Structure 1
Amino acid sequence: MHEPAVKKILYWCEHCNVPLIGRTCSCGNEAKTIALLQPYDIRPALSGDRNRIIQLLRSQYGEVPVPKVILLNKTGGYDRAELVISNGDRFGWLTFDPVTRTYSLEIAPEALPFLVQHISKGVIDLGNHIDLKAEKGRIGGKRFPLKEPVPDGQVIVTANGKYGTATVKDGYIRIKELLPVLPKVYPDPGWETVIAKNAYHLKNLERNAVRTIKRHMKDRPLVNVSFSGGKDSTAAMHLAKKAGVEKAFFIDTGLEFPETIQFIREQGVEVISKGDNNFWQVIEERGPPGKDNRWCCSLLKLDPLKAYLDDIGPCVTIQGNRWYESWNRAGLEVTSQNPINPLQLNVSPIRSWRAFEVFLYLWWRKVPMNPMYEQGVERVGCYLCPAMLESEYDSIRRTHPGITARWDAFLEKWAKKRQMPDAYISWGLWRWHTLPPKMRELCRNMGVFVNDDFTLAKKDKKKESGRKTRKV
């Protein structure tokens, strides 16, 4: 399959210190490029994300200032793993450990010119622990014993006027690299400045998307918008309205956040009732849906959608699907027929947008969006969706205990009945029927056994005779 023209870099104006959609800034300067990590999607750090970064950064290094404009580039890991970008470069890596259920922020060397002038703790002078004169050549990449106790984790190190980052574990320090660092002061614009500097690019995105909708909106007798309450469908609906599309629908799965339902009501969208889907009865027999067994989508979304489409007849549906959301959507065309109902033609006017463009566009046009995003939630669909990160569900347990309690009670009952180990719930392993390689690696590292078919082994199965299990 031909690889779509995904954007693998981020543009940044060093003069204005703002991220850009295009190569040039409205100030007239050419932008530098920052390489992104797969799947190349980037999004602004909103209130929940930024507060977490502030808390982690200051707990490690003291009352350092934090830039207003921060972007997050998601990448692969056991759970949440994001490259943090700010001040026109890599700032660090934000990760969530599903085993310890804690976040960590690892500082990138590129952030040191900004940080070294402000840090008040978390800095180790290597001269107090290492005989620097006796060490010939580079000490970067080497491991040394510490003379005094230092808590495990990442630290900033200094020696002979140079700075670097290092990791402390069990009384030893491993130094990554030491380099000369010149303190640097950066402009600290807000998102309103980012929007202003990108206005030209946003106008072009809007113009092209509206043209796409107008080009196809009459390909069927009816035209509507599929609205989920998320940011992408919010942008798609706003663009569709500009093109003259008036009708939008939302499928209520019965498992939505209260904030989403309220947001839907405020938009005046037609709500397709969940009907009698019997979800809570079905899971008693089928068990929890998984990322590799999304039977819930058929029951809660596709079946009601098919009934709705059968009722209204042939139609064009504007949707907010994007290339960067998943590998399955990376080759999404402008138009595609619904395989379940060929009478529906789906149109994806923002398929080439990243989350960065989506948020900027909504802010630029002052379009209201689902308030869940400000809480640090990236997905605002069903609150128990297996595609959600465990870090997100960990947050939702605290913010929405009223809706998560029933699901947690079911998981506990299901795990007990099938003798699943504690990791089934506590690490979020219920989200897979067949564990993917990264989670098998985690199980192997932590001594949790996996069956030969890569399903999670029962509790204490390693003690049973005549059964094959392995740490794979």
Structure 2
Amino acid sequence: MDKDRFSRKPSRRKDSPSSKNENTGAREKSGPRHASYEKDYIFWCNTCNVPLIGQRCCTCGGQGQKLVLSQPADVRFCSPYERSVLREQLVSSFGCDPIGERIVLLNKIPGDDKTDEVIVDGLYFGVLGFDLQSMSYRFEPMVQGAKILMGNPVPGKLVVLKKSSRHLNGKKVEADLVQSMSLDIRKGDSVLVVSGALAGFGVSYCDADELQDCRGPAVRVRKIDSQSASLNPKVSSMGDVIAANIDHLRSLGKNAINTIKGIANQKDFRDLPVHVSFSGGKDSLAVLDLTRSALRNRDVKAFFLNTGIEFPETVDFVHEHCAENNIELIEKKAGDSFWDNVVTFGPPAKDFRWCCKTCKLAPANAAIEQCLENAPTCLTIDGKRKHESFSRARIAVSEKNPFVPGQLNIFPIRDWRAIEVWLYIYWRGLKYNPLYDQGFERVGCYLCPAALSAEFQRLRDLHPELYSRWNSFLKDWAEESGFTPEFIEHGLWRWKELPPKMVKLCEDAGISISGRETTSQFAIEMTSGISPCRAGGYSIEGAVQGLSMRKAGNILNIIGSTSFSEELGLLLVKSGGSTVKLFSSGSLVVNADNREEADRLFAAVSEQLLRNHRCTGCGICLKACPAGSISLDGQGGVLISESCIRCGRCSGSCFIVKYSDRMNIIGSSLR
């Protein structure tokens, strides 16, 4: 097991489990690929001992202490199941659970799987994470949490160091400097560390019973200092939290309602049909309530895409909520589309979401067509939020859906964090999907590759029949594809191309990835000739073998403006009046005004996909670009930014493009 698995988490805080230098190093190498959230903090009222979403406490009127959060700062309340996991980890490792019934916040931070900062009483208590090597939870204290744990009369996992004048933070300590070590300590354990007046935490490099024979470092001190830390004597309830935030909640709700009214009541939109995209999740629940409050005189319907692989609890909740609140529900079902296609395509992956095309996009278009029977456009109120993921960080207040024509989306809670969504739900007394209390941070499809391994374990516990069907398929697929059972057990099927951190994990755990081709054979074939479209213009359909959506998204800005839907596994490129749709399943569809443009665009897209798939990283194109829009992506390809002026000079300098006709990659129909 990696002794410092939780030590690599990016953070901007001094008391994080990572140092500032460790954070910024990786980002500097690859460049600023992600958005940075300015709203990366909350406040804490120490008088009332409650978290605040605004600086002023609405109960005592005092100013809250600012708590800076690791990005993306989508902090939330700890669920009952997560609280039980945390309690188990604290008791088993340190012999106590000092938190009791206090309000606990979890802030999602980067990690191999489910990983959260734990915040208690405004203190950074520790990190709770699911370890993909051991396939179990681990808790690592932060320095404030370590000092609270040391308040236990007989704390577990305690290392006492001899007093020393040397600087200890981040240092490895030899065995001869260890005065004592709790007998329950094993190699790789997170430990509490004391040295004179200093206290903090670290990681053990040996078993306690091997200390006398240890010839190398015995402990690595993560952080240690002389400051004090203790829990607040006041224990607050959720009712106290709501009361302390009531004015902020009213303002949030009012702003969201005004956003909906401001767009939906415009002259061009006031007579259009309105529906809320209701997935059964917390965000869509809040938006449905806000929309009904904003448009009391409009017929607001709920729209539910039933993919056929939803949790039973989600389907039941959607129907029950709409029935209890007299809301008309439009449900579009994908039926067995997933199971009908999974044998052909194999398991979906984070970078291969073929399932979204069949299970979401087709039903969504059917629903929109139904709504557009008597109107040119329909308004969809959607619960997407910026803080959910870096891919959603730039969503606007409203935008036309490039993937579903005729739909105008409105995002009234795009700036909300999870804590604000939950406070709104608690304040309004809304019933919510019971899965949230049972260990699920998201409640989408139960076998979605975007889900975490920790959540797949909960699926096994709650729905063994659903887990068994999917796991049986994965095992059969792995055997046919040459993968080991461990490949499936550790959730590595969730990637078509394993990211570097997963490759490293496999190396550390001794998991073979030999069944996965490191370089997929690449080919592009035209599957249908140029044909007229019913809506006008011409189209070409093709298939891309060995497609990398990451590499495609990195380079196709040279063709036109790009939009990517992570949910649909779809990359859309607009070039003048023409469009290119590239699905993670490998399907390629080109639409243009005339035959010549469709043919030209298909060839141009094929050429650029080939260019980035076979890229050698020579860097010649960087020098050829007059706009400075090209950089190497660090993973065997180029990255073309939105500043590209599409002059074509980089393509002209690329020997792969120059000799593409000799590589037998693009179907003969293009030549």
Question: TM-score with structure 1 length normalisation?
Answer: 0.90
Per-residue deviation, 1:351: 0.4
Q: Distance in 2 between matches of 1:138 and 1:5?
A: 34
The aligned residue for residue 318 of structure 2 is: 264
Deviations along 1:364-393, whole A, 9 cap, x unmatched?
A: 010110000001101101100110011111
SS in structure 1 of the partner of residue 446 of structure 2: coil
> For residues 36-47 of structure 1, what are the structure 2 equivalents within 5 Å?
36-47=69-80
CA gap of 1:347–1:4, structure 2 versus 1, over 3 A, is farther
How much does 1:275 deviate?
A: 4.4
What is the alpha-carbon distance in structure 1 between the residues aligned to residue 121 and residue 148 of structure 2?
A: 8
Counterpart of 2:362 (choices 288, 299, 303) is: 303
Report 1:1-400 matches (<5 A).
6-26=38-58, 27-67=60-100, 68-118=102-152, 120-124=154-158, 126=160, 130=162, 132=163, 135-140=164-169, 141-145=171-175, 150-152=185-187, 153-171=189-207, 172-182=218-228, 184-186=230-232, 187-218=234-265, 219=269, 221-244=272-295, 245=298, 246-268=300-322, 269-313=328-372, 314-400=377-463
- In structure 1, runs of 5+ residues without a counterpart are 456-471
Please give the secondary structure, in 1, of the residue aligned with 2:333: coil
Deviations 1:251-297 (A, max 9, x none): 11111111111111112252424245532120001001111111111
Pick closer, same or farther for the CA change 1:3–1:112 going to 2, 3 Å: closer
* Residues 302 and 51 of structure 1, relative CA distance in 2, 3 Å threshold: same
SS in 1 for 2:498: coil
CA displacement 1:33-82 (0-9 Å, x = unmatched): 11211222111101011111111111122233215211111111111111
**CA distance 1:427–1:343, shift in 2 (3 Å):** same
For the residue of structure 2 that corresponds to 1:247, the secondary structure is: strand
Query: RMSD between aligned alpha carbons?
Result: 2.2
Q: State which drifts further: 109-118 or 13-22.
A: 109-118
Matching residue within 462, 467, 485 for 1:422: 485
Greater CA deviation, 54-63 or 381-390? Answer: 54-63
Cα deviations by residue, 1:281-330 (Å, 9 ceiling, x for unpaired): 20001001111111111111111110111122021010100001112211
CA-to-aligned-CA distance 1:67-108 (integer Å, 9 cap, x gap): 521111111111111111111121101111112111111011
Residue pair 1:116, 1:183 contacting (<8 A) in 2 also: no
Conserved 8 A contact 1:117-1:183: no
Cα deviation, residue 125, structure 1: 5.1
* Equivalent pair of 2:96/2:155 in contact (CA under 8 Å): no
Tell me if the contact between 1:10 and 1:20 (Cα under 8 Å) persists in the aligned partners: yes
| Range 227-236 or range 102-111, more displaced | 102-111
Q: Per-residue CA shift, 1:157-201, capped at 9, x if unaligned?
A: 223243221211224222234333546340221221111100000
Change (3 A) 1:33 1:381: same
Amino acid at match of 1:346: N
Specify whether residues 342 and 281 from structure 1 end up closer, same or farther in structure 2 by C-alpha distance, changes over 3 A only: closer
Letter in 1 for 2:46: E
SS in 1 for 2:119: strand
SS in 1 for 2:221: strand
| Structure 2: gaps of 5 or more residues | 1-32, 208-217, 323-327, 521-635, 637-671
Aligned to 1:126, what secondary structure does the other structure show?
strand
Moved more, 392-401 or 116-125: 116-125
**Per the alignment, do residues 154 and 438 of structure 1 end up closer, same or farther by CA in structure 2, a change over 3 Å counting?**
same
Distance in 1, matches of 2:449 and 2:159, equals 45
Is the 2:348–2:494 contact (alpha carbons within 8 Å) kept by the matching residues of 1? Answer: yes
Q: CA deviation at 1:3?
A: 5.7
Question: Matched residues in 1 for 2:403 and 2:130: separation?
Answer: 37
178-187 vs 252-261, which moves further: 178-187
Q: Matched residues in 2 for 1:318 and 1:45: separation?
A: 28
The CA distance in 2 between the partners of 1:119 and 1:453, in whole Å, is 54
Structure 2 length as normaliser, TM-score?
A: 0.64
Percent identity of the aligned residues?
Answer: 37
Structure-to-structure mapping, 1:398-409, within 5 angstroms: 398-409=461-472
| Residue identity opposite 2:80 in structure 1 | S
Residue of structure 2 equivalent to 1:464: none
Q: 1:256 to 1:271 in 2, by over 3 A?
A: farther
Aligned with residue 453 of structure 1, among 513, 518, 536: 518
CA distance in 2, matches of 1:226, 1:408: 30
Measured in 2, the distance between the counterparts of 1:14 and 1:444 equals 46
Contact 2:474/2:488 (<8 A) preserved: yes
**What do the CA deviations read for 1:420-447 (whole angstroms, capped 9, x no partner)?**
1233211101111011222122123334
Q: Which has the larger radius of gyration?
A: 2
1:215 positional shift: 1.4
The one-letter code sitting in structure 2 at the alignment partner of 1:55 is E
Residue 63 of structure 1 aligns to a residue in which SS?
A: coil
Q: How far 1:123 sits from its partner (Å)?
A: 4.7
Quote how far apart the aligned CAs of 1:122 are: 1.3
Counterpart Cα distance in 2 of 1:234 and 1:441: 39
- Cα distance in 2, alignment partners of residues 94 and 232 from structure 1: 24
Q: Residues 73 and 387 of structure 2 are in contact (CA less than 8 Å); yes or no, is this contact kept in structure 1? A: yes
**2:371, 2:158 → 1: CA distance?**
68
User: Residues 294 and 4 from structure 1, CA distance in 2 versus in 1: closer, same or farther, beyond 3 angstroms?
Assistant: same
Q: Distance in 1 between matches of 2:36 and 2:136?
A: 36
Distance 1:6 1:119, change over 3 A: farther
Give the Cα separation in 2 of the matches to 1:356 and 1:155: 31
What secondary structure, in the 3-state scheme, does the structure 2 residue paired with 1:137 have?
coil
The letter for the 1-side match of 2:273 is L
